[in-house]
Amino acid sequence: MKLLYDLNSLRPPRSGIGYYTQHLIEGLLRQPDVEDIAGWVGSTVFQGASLDALMRTDAALGKAAQFSDGLTASMLRAARHVPGVYKSRTIVRNIMSASARKDFGSRGYLYHETNFVASPYKGPSVVTIHDLSHRRHPEFHPRVAVKYLDDGLPPTFRQVGRVIADSHYTKREIHDIYGLPDEKVVTIHLGVESSFRPYSQEECAPALDELGLRHRGFVLSVCTLQPRKNLRRLVEAFARLPADLRHAFPLVLIGADGWMNSALMRDIEPLANAGQIITPGYVSRATLLKLYASAAVFGYPSLYEGFGLPIAEALASGVPVLTSNVTSIPEVVGDAALVVDPYSVEEIEAGLERMLNDEPLRNDLIAKGLRRAAELTWEQTVQKTADVYRSLVG
């Protein structure tokens, strides 16, 4: 098999879809029947040694890195709301990559779009749909993003031979909303990197010292700061906890700045001034691993997930998880987390207080979480994805 990818999701700061793309390619490079893998960013093609370098470091995308923070990054985030931006970006990217796609298509490469909307391609193709939150909760997204997906997904579904869904829940959503036949949509759960694991207190100390945290002495949440992650209710629930618990277990919110979060930032401000909420923003991968493994509780009461990879990463890190009882989340966690109604501040508050005060419960959830996470491997994800490819080119 010869495989082709749009690698724009690898631009830093790398998000969940970027890591999904990276792990797929890394695993597929070890498949015996994969002859070659190539991809593009803009008009630049990555293949062989250059693709390998891209997997190991973002240095090859250095120009993009300068837009991960600062004034330019803020302007780019604001531009999400400008009509025509998504469409214009798509047109520009399609023009820049047109020659490469035509060349690889003529040489029999299978194209896998890992990020929702596929570029036009004359050859076998596959798309991964991570969730359909833009249809179920359009209020949580910039209108231009909703329009981009509404316009782009129908032609994508007509073009591709198979659709990969991250969960059975997402597969049902695709069927219910777009009417795709069951045989066209394949559920393949995501995996968890082996680097997400329990770490000793000594291994975590440098990362904790940098943020003034103590081991097992904080509540952690990791996500882009955007409405569907339900951070306002999490913050409100945390604010209702007894003062001694808030001081002993500050809430640490890790994640890049998102959209529609001005009200959230106002909610956070008084608690941050009191030292009870810490918002480091986007942190390095190495720091993130240690923060996961050091938290007393991982709080993730999201309103909608197509899979919820941060939850799986928390389970693998040996931290007890408080999360939601909706969408794909129960499918992912099984009995390995304390689940609550994410629309109820009272349930979130009660769950946090119970977990922070109940060490036997935390220990039980840690043990169950490690067992569940062990079932979610990238090796399995890669193998099942390769089987989808084989069904189209075999």
Which CATH number goes with the domain that contains 18?
A: 3.40.50
**131 and 56 within one domain:** yes
**181 and 301 within one domain:** no
**275 and 179 within one domain:** no
Going by pLDDT thresholds of 50, 70 and 90, the confidence category of residue 69 is very low
Report which listed range, 138-142, 282-286, 299-303, is most confident: 299-303
**234 and 181 within one domain:** no
Strand order across the beta sheet in which 321-324 lies: 277-281, 251-254, 219-222, 297-300, 321-324, 338-340
- Asked if residue 196 belongs to a domain, the reply is no
Q: How far is CA 222 from the centre of its chain?
A: 10
Cis-peptide, bond into residue 154, ω within 30° of zero: no
The span from the CA of 93 to the CA of 210, in Å, is: 39
**209 and 185 within one domain:** no
pLDDT tens sequence across 373-394: 999 999 999 999 999 999 999 7
pLDDT tens sequence across 129-175: 999 999 999 998 889 999 999 999 999 999 999 999 999 999 999 99
pLDDT at 77: 52
**243 and 344 within one domain:** yes
Q: How far is CA 200 from the centre of its chain?
A: 26
Q: What is the mean pLDDT of residues 354-369?
A: 98
- Structural domain boundaries, residue 65: 2-191+378-393
What is the average pLDDT score of the chain? Answer: 91
**279 and 135 within one domain:** no
**160 and 274 within one domain:** no
Going by pLDDT thresholds of 50, 70 and 90, the confidence category of residue 87 is low
Whole-angstrom distance between the N-terminal and C-terminal Cα of the chain?
9
Q: What is the pTM of this model?
A: 0.89
pLDDT at 67: 42
**How many contiguous H segments (helices) and E segments (strands) does the chain have?**
18, 13
143, containing H or E segment = helix 143-159
10 Å CB burial of residue 344 (0-12, 13-18, 19+) is middle
- pLDDT reading at 58 higher than 60: no
**235 and 313 within one domain:** yes
- Asked if residue 290 belongs to a domain, the reply is yes
**212 and 130 within one domain:** no
| Domain count along the chain | 2
Which CATH number goes with the domain that contains 265?
A: 3.40.50.2000
Phi, psi of 329 (to 5 degrees): -65, -45
Q: What is the mean pLDDT of residues 363-381?
A: 98
pLDDT at 68: 43
Going by pLDDT thresholds of 50, 70 and 90, the confidence category of residue 268 is very high
**155 and 85 within one domain:** yes
- pLDDT reading at 297 higher than 70: yes
- Asked if residue 270 belongs to a domain, the reply is yes
* Of the candidates 153, 283, 275, the residue with the CA atom closest to the CA atom of residue 217: 275
Phi, psi of 7 (to 5 degrees): -100, 15
**139 and 13 within one domain:** yes
